[in-house]
Each structure stands twice: as C-alpha cells, then as structure tokens.
Amino acid sequence: MKVTIFGTGYVGLVTGACLAEVGHQVVCVDIDQTKIDQIQSGQIPIYEPGLESLVLENLEAGNLSFTTDAEAAVEASRVIMIAVGTPPNEDGSADLQHVLAVAKTVAGAMNNEKIIVMKSTVPVGTADKVKTAVAATQAELGKTVAFHVASNPEFLKEGAAVGDFMKPDRVVIGIEDDEIKGDLLELYQPFNRNHERVIFMDIRSAELTKYAANCMLAAKISFMNEMAHLSEQLGADIEMVRQGIGSDQRIGYHFIYPGCGYGGSCFPKDVQALIRTADQAGHDSPLLRSIEAVNNRQKTRLFDYIQDYFGSDVKGKTFALWGLAFKPKTDDMREAPSRVLMEALWAAGAKVQAFDPEAMNETQRIYGHQDDLLLVGTKEAALRNADALVICTEWRNFRAPDFDEIKQALSKPVIFDGRNLFEPDRMEAKGFSYYAIGRGKSVQQAG
C-alpha cells in the first residue's frame, strides 16, 4: 500500500519505518527542510533502539522517503496518517493546532478519495474536528472529494517502540463506516499473522482507549509510590510488598515498581489532557487528579532524602547524578525526574556532575552551559570529588557498579537511589548510607 505520514517525530518516524519494513511504500512529510535533509543523510533526530538501521535500510531500498512537498505526498497515497505533536496548553489540554493544520493541508491537496487516519494522541472528539476542518476547507475551495476519518492510536513504549510496532499487543482502529475496513486490515495484515490483533470500534472509543491505557499505567505507578511512602512511615519494605501483590495474577508485576516518578512525552501529558477532557464534559475526576498529584510529589522525594542527610543547607556541595533520561533506552528528558532534582539542587546552591548513556546532548540542549552543571563521559567520572551519588534512571550499566570505587570517590559514602537498584542490607554492609524509595532509609546525617 502507499501511505503518507505527516510528522517525523517519535510516532511518525517509527510508524513510517516499520510500515516500510514490511513492504508498504511510505512517504513522511515535515515542514522542516533541515530535519528532512538530516534524516535523508542518515542523521536520525531521536534515539530509539533499532530505529536508525530500519530507517536507513528502507531509505536505501526505496520503500521510505521524506519530503516537505505536502501536495505531492497527499497525491501519492490513499491512506494519510496524521502523526504530528499535540503539546499541552497551559491548562493541560491538548493543543490541536498542528493536527487541524495538517487536516486543512490534506483537504486542499487531495483530488481523489482519501482515508485520513489519526495517529497522534488526541482528545475524544478530535476526529470530528478533523472531519469538520476538511469539509470546511473543501467548501472554501469548491471541492467535493470523498474522504473518511479513522482513529488509530499508537501504543509504543519508548525504548521498545520498534518491537512494539512489529509485534503489537493490539491494533486499535476507530471507524464510522465499514467501507474502509478492508483498507486498514490490509495495512496491518503483515503484523497480524500469528493471531487477530486488530480491534475495530467506534472512533470516540478508540480515542478514549489511548488515554485510558496510559492513565491506567500511570495509576499503577502512582499507587506504588504512595505505598512506598507509606512503607517508610510504617517500617515496611516496598520491595517485599511488590513481590507479595505482584504474584496475584489479577495485579501482575508490570508497572508496580516504585521510583522517583514517571515522566516522558506520554503519561504526564495524557493524564493532564484526560483531566481537562473530563472537566469539559462536566465530570469531576478525583482519581486522575490524585495520580498527577502523587507523581508531582514523588519527583521531589530524592531532594527530600538529600536534605534529610545533609540538613537543609546543601550550598556548595556537588552531587554525582547517574541518569538523565526519564527512562532507559531513550534520550527523552521531557518531564524527567532528573530535571526536577537538578533544578532543586541548583536553587539550593549545589552543583551537579551528570552522566547518561544517551541523554547528554539533550541535556546540553535544554540547559546549555552553566557553572553548576558538568556533563561527563562516564559514570565513574561523575563521581570525582562529589559529595554523594544520586540515581535517577535505571540504565542497565548502573546495576552492578564497583562499590569500592564509589566509596573512594565520594566525600561521603551516601547513595540516593530513585530506582531501587540495590539491596539495603548489602549497601549497609559495605558502609554506605543508602536511601531508596520505600525500603527504609538511613537516618544518619552527614557529620
């Protein structure tokens, strides 16, 4: 099939590369000529395992192309996917200006029947707005070209997006008429061979499914962080609690790891957007508000632990920070807990020496050059002359460090672990003051 995708960000690029990989002819459109030139020259703008090779191989094979020529791209394909960003407005609602701008562009360029597929994460009712925008633009231009609108939300995990697309748990498609079912089944047939993964439903249900899924996962994380805080107050160990409840198949082990809060481009934005959607529908949503409130509070926990140990004054101290990205296998720092921690430390007069396997350039882009931030090339280099170690991201190569080296490098043998990588008893035996989330923390202060 011939497919045009508007947007070469995370969703658009992964979707385009994976559709091309199975043989579809894909054209990706972006308004940024510099970005298009970089991709065509082999410079992929995001880090995602397996994506770079997929893009380059399909560029070379001719299945995947990139352009700024929207009119030609629309003309080339029957299926048009919209995968542009929907950043939050100041009130947390999703900003649809880019989505609706693409809808108008498609309407102006199309000369034959099209299927317009919403891939962006959008509030319930957006497909109706897209349909209205297309029809209105056609009316202004004196056109009467047939078109269909569908919702096909993505369920990609950053760090595993290529695998998620190639072997999906489900493919949710919202349609309002059965006429386009065959086209969309054909589009996803290569990913549907083992068993039926395509779930058809009405458009509004498909739009809500995306938000409901992310908010459910965010709820599990916030619940465990609430239990971790309670464990500290009651003298329980949240790791034991996690194992105890995870063994119940109705709960399971996925997404019940406590930590220093969730971040990224999806959970924070989608929880806020669903709260705003509920508000607009006249429905109070105390559970959703609590999910967000608990997460915001959790992002301050590491700084609280630091103040517990050093006292309220950390001015002049230097902290080694392992992990900047909001999760492993990505360079994404949107809403990352590391940012909340670093900004709190800087406000208190402390310095940060940081390392992340992938997010160093992104950190530099966000914060630029400043005297209280030193980005270093290895996790060991971050330790030099630091007063303490803080861990914000559970990268695999942080899990088995040389503890003797850590102890020798730090002025104080203290670790603030936002991802519970180590066993408290083992750390105590090695002479560390060890602060983990919900696992009982040392009460010894720096002397």
Active-site residues, by number, are: 266
Written as one string, the DSSP assignment of 322-338 is: E--SSSTT----TT-HH
Cβ–Cβ < 8 Å for 73, 29: yes
CA-wise closest residue to 360 among 393, 319, 386 = 393
- For the sheet with 414-417, list strands across it: 373-375, 351-355, 318-322, 388-391, 414-417, 433-436
Residue 91 burial by CB count (10 A; 0-12/13-18/19+): exposed, middle or buried? exposed
Distance between CA atoms of residues 103 and 101, nearest Å = 5
Cβ–Cβ < 8 Å for 390, 364: no
Cβ–Cβ < 8 Å for 76, 49: no
Distance between CA atoms of residues 51 and 30, nearest Å = 18
Residue 33 burial by CB count (10 A; 0-12/13-18/19+): exposed, middle or buried? exposed
Contacts of 208 (CB under 8 A, 6+ apart): 124
H or E element in which residue 116 lies: strand 114-118
H or E element in which residue 381 lies: helix 379-383
> What single DSSP character describes residue 124?
T
Residue 436, amino acid: A
The torsion angle over the Cα atoms of residues 40, 335, 226 and 242, rounded to 10 degrees, is 20
